[in-house]
Structures are given as C-alpha cells and as structure tokens.
A = this chain, B = another copy of it.
Amino acid sequence: MFKIAVLPGDGIGPEVIEEGLKVLSAIEDKYKLKFDVKKYPFGGEAIDKYGVPYPEETKNACLSSDVVLLGAVGGPKWDDLEGDKRPEAGLLALRKSLGVYANLRPAVLYPPLKEASPLKNELLQEGLDILVVRELTGGIYFGPRATIAIDYGFKAYDTEVYQTSEIERIAVIAFEAALKRKKKVTSVDKANILDSSRLWRKTVEEISKRYPEVELNHMYVDNCAMQLIKNPSQFDVILTSNMFGDILSDEASQLTGSIGMLPSASLREDKVGLYEPIHGSAPDIAGTKKANPLATILSVAMMLEYSFDLIDAANDIKDAVNKVLEAGYRTFDLGKGIILNTQEMGDKVVEYV
C-alpha cells in the first residue's frame, strides 16, 4: 500500500489539494487500489501552529512516505519573517531532506487553450511542449551565505556552487527524459561569466557522450529567456541550474497561458517523489472558489506515473482533463467557456475518469 504524505499548505493550497485527492479516490475505486493518505501541517499553517514551517512530525511523515503531495505555501502574513523562519524555508528544507534533486516542469500548450497563450498564434503552430529539468537541491539556493555589517551599512552574499557529481546526476535525468521525447537537450548556463557554469557545461558535455542519440546544445541564460519567446518550439528538454530553472520554468509556463494547468515532479534515483502544482498559493483568490485544481490533479497523474508505475491510471487522468477542456469547461483563469468553480472542476474530472 503506497503511503502518501499530503501537505495542503497555504492560500489556495488546501482547496486544490481537496480536488486532487478527490480524483485520487476515483482512481482507487476504478482500479480497486487503496492508498494510505494522511495530511500534515506545512508552510505558513505550520508556522502559525508550531512556529516552524517544516515541523518534526511533518518531516518524519514525509521521510517515511513513498511520495509527498504538496499544495502551495506562503502569503503576505508571513512575508516579514526572517529568512529561515519563512514558509519558503520549509519548502527548501523539504526538498533537501527528501533529496529530490531533479525538478521536472512540463510546459505544455493544451490545444483548446491556444487563445489563452500570450503569444501570437503563428508562433504556436507547432505547439509548445517543453520539459524544464531544474536542479533542485544545490546552487545558490543552498550555498554559503551571510550578511555582514561593514563600515557603511552591510555586505551580503550568496554562493552559487556546484560539483561534478551534482551536475552529472541531473544531466542524466535530462538525457533520459529526452530519450522518451524529441531527443534534444538544451543546457542553459552563463558559461561566458561563471566558473560554476563552465563546470556545468563541461560536465553536461561529458554525460552527453553516453547518449549519442540525443542532440545537445548549450545556450546562455539571457539568450534562452529571449529564445523561449521568439521560437519556443525549438525546445524539447531544457536542463539548467536551480536559480536559472526557477526563472526559465516560470517564463516557459507563462507562455502556455495556462499556468493553472501545470504540474511538477521532484525526483531522486529511486521512486520517491515530491509532487506539486507549479502555481503558488495565490492568497488573493484563496476562499473565492476560483482556483484552478487541474495543476494539482495533473500532479497526481505524474505521481501515479513516476512513483507508482500506474501508467494506465495516470493516462486516465490526463485523458479526463483533455476531455473536460475539449467539452468547453474552464476555470476562471482559462478564459471563455463554461466556467466552473474549483469543486465543480474536480467533480467534472472525476466524472470523466
């Protein structure tokens, strides 16, 4: 029996998680499965209750589960806390404690949602199907940092740091993913400036020799930020560092116009994974029933596929989402159509599953 630790979190997190779990139950019924699902406090909610964003109890539960399903964390209420006491610090600690170094963020244009993309239609003719593979447990997110008083004011620093083994293992993930896709990896760095990027480029180059079927090209991060807009269909898999991946995956997802639709998986060598929608906690719409639960529902599908090898069940969910969209159902963020609220959208997907 698979053990699932669920962290609803803050803002719209609990609302979209509810719908994700609803769809998961539907899968249990359909396939006569039983998952062991338990919820734990995390993020701002945990700060309010226990003073810390990632309490021991939650950590123990996550570490002894097969997967973690996360809603979203953060909100203005906790924005003035110090660095290590914020909801985001909990997220970083969660990723690090699970050791899930490979963050997979698919940015896909759903054909029925073409109109929601900010890009001109002629740029979308070949569709948009990019997988950003972002390194998630290294780089400037975890390197040495400090703020030091000096003669006039302060000096503050953060360190972008990578070692060969960290780059190798994330590169392997990207090349393996490319094998199942269009066999193209674009590795993004700033090797014309950064030492860490030059090590990145050299190491990726080495790993690529094991994958002669996969085409590798390198791109500077500034150029990639342009190329994503100019010609998004040139990309298949984008492989990059934690910081650059944070920026580029958000940019890529915005191009689809349906950020409320996009799931993510964070993985390590074995089948353990952390699954979450890529959208945030959206405190402004929390409680209004406007949240789009599809990103969480699709995160559940990724969980079934990557961690549980339940490919049919995963496909059922993906097909159901496609059919719901094709039938014209939309949440508020997706533009014109038959507008459903959060719960109604969850129910509709269950119906099609």
Interface residues of A (CB under 8 A from B): 74, 83, 86, 88, 92, 117-121, 123, 140-141, 143, 145-147, 150, 152-165, 168, 190, 192-199, 203, 221-223, 225-226, 229-230, 243-244, 246-251, 253-255, 259
- Indicate if the CB atoms of A222 and B198 lie closer than 8 Å: no
- Indicate if the CB atoms of A154 and B192 lie closer than 8 Å: no
Task: Among B140, B203, B229, point to the contact of A118 (Cβ < 8 A).
Answer: B229
A74 to B154, CA, bound (A): 36
A198 to B85, CA, bound (A): 14
A199 to B154, CA, bound (A): 8
- Indicate if the CB atoms of B230 and A147 lie closer than 8 Å: no
Q: List chain B residues, Cβ under 8 A from A158.
A: 159-161, 193-197
In the complex with contacts A155-B162, A259-B226, A147-B198 CB distance below 8 A:
yes
Task: Among B121, B160, B225, point to the contact of A140 (Cβ < 8 A).
Answer: B160
- Indicate if the CB atoms of A164 and B152 lie closer than 8 Å: yes
- Indicate if the CB atoms of A161 and B165 lie closer than 8 Å: no
Q: List chain B residues, Cβ under 8 A from A192.
A: 74, 86, 88
A95 to B328, CA, bound (A): 54
Q: List chain B residues, Cβ under 8 A from A195.
A: 83, 145-147, 156-158
A88 to B222, CA, bound (A): 14
User: How distant is A351 from chain B, measured CB to nearest CB, in Å?
Assistant: 31
| 26 A-B pairs in the complex with CB atoms less than 8 angstroms apart | A118-B229, A119-B119, A145-B194, A145-B195, A146-B195, A147-B199, A155-B163, A155-B199, A156-B195, A156-B199, A157-B160, A157-B161, A157-B162, A158-B160, A158-B161, A158-B193, A159-B160, A190-B246, A221-B246, A221-B247, A223-B250, A225-B225, A225-B248, A226-B250, A244-B247, A251-B251
